[in-house]
Amino acid sequence: MKPIIGIAANLLADRHERVKNPVKHAVEQDYVQAIRQAGGIPVVIPVQADCEAIRQIAARVDGIILIGGSDINPVLYRQKSSKTSGRVYPLVDQFYLDLIQAADELQLPVLGICKGLQALNVAFGGTLHQHLPAHVQDKPMQQATHRVLLKEGSVLEQAVQDREILVNSFHHQAIRDLAAGFDAIAFDPDGVIEGIQRTEPGSWMTGVQWHPEILARHRDSASCALFRAFVTRCAEPRKPQQDVAPEQQRQKRRG
Ligand SMILES: [Mn+2]
């Protein structure tokens, strides 16, 4: 059986919508395609606020992708908003954080892309640079222009079998303080963190600051390898949750 991969949606207001509700729960086609190409079955998870519902959804998928989107509300990493910060969507931010918490409890693999990487860092106590202007390339998004060095032995290095790759770059924020329990595994030549992975045994949470889903559409081998590594991990059986199960059983008996 192929693993089912939940893709967290963004909220999008459709300016051309004249009749129906203009607010859409949106996922770019490239994420859907990249998962299918890598051997997974994509499902879109709409933005929602009910933690328990999010937990139940997480329990029914084999992995989660957190996709690119708007800036994360700086309040969530204990900073005031600077003038260069973009528009924030607190409902989407909380949805990402709730999904990460559920994934952590269920030992569900998570791939965080761009905002997804930033959300992983913030969820575990890290902070962000609110504006790093040099990381938005002029070239089209499908063009890899940005040199990134990969840490030896990391998830990324093992997936792509190389210490250095070329990626695209479309972010104006980046990790400042790395969250505890995470390793920085990819850097640009100036030392900006471009990739992270969680160090906790049994957990697979990896984030990249670039957009591999766009490069994967153009058959970029490193990007395809990253999605394959994630989907392959999602297909593996997870350890049974010995410490959670008895409490759930008690609740069942009570209820
Ligand atoms: Mn970059």
State the pLDDT at residue 83: 75
Identified catalytic residue from 129, 146, 171, 213: 213
Q: What ranges do the domains of the chain cover?
A: 4-254
pLDDT in tens, 160-209: 999 999 999 988 999 999 999 999 999 999 999 999 999 999 999 999 99
Global pTM value: 0.92
pLDDT for residue 87 is more than 90: no
pLDDT for residue 82 is more than 90: no
pLDDT for residue 95 is more than 50: yes
* 114 counts as catalytic: yes
* 224 counts as catalytic: no
pLDDT for residue 2 is more than 90: yes
Identified catalytic residue from 114, 135, 146, 194: 114
Of residues 241 and 2, more confidence is placed in 2
Percent of the chain scored above 90 by pLDDT? 80
State the pLDDT at residue 240: 67
94 Cβ contact list (under 8 Å, min separation 6): 49
**Residue 175 CA to ligand 1 centre (angstroms):** 11
**Both tokens of residue 88?**
């924030």
pLDDT in tens, 15-36: 898 889 999 999 999 999 999 9
Distance from chain centroid for Cα 186: 15
203 Cβ contact list (under 8 Å, min separation 6): 104, 107
- State whether CATH 3.30.559.30 applies to domain 4-254: no
Identified catalytic residue from 135, 146, 171, 211: 211
Q: Which stretches of the chain are assigned E, i.e. beta strand?
A: 4-8, 10-13, 23-26, 41-45, 63-66, 110-113, 128-129, 146-150, 164-167, 174-175, 182-187, 193-198, 205-208
**Residue 18 CA to ligand 1 centre (angstroms):** 37
State the pLDDT at residue 254: 45
* 213 counts as catalytic: yes
121 Cβ contact list (under 8 Å, min separation 6): 127, 128, 175, 178, 179, 182, 196, 207
Of residues 252 and 226, more confidence is placed in 226
pLDDT for residue 246 is more than 60: no
pLDDT for residue 249 is more than 50: no
pLDDT for residue 45 is more than 70: yes
Of residues 170 and 102, more confidence is placed in 102
**Residue 29 CA to ligand 1 centre (angstroms):** 22
**Residue 171 CA to ligand 1 centre (angstroms):** 6
**Residue 187 CA to ligand 1 centre (angstroms):** 9
**Residue 196 CA to ligand 1 centre (angstroms):** 13
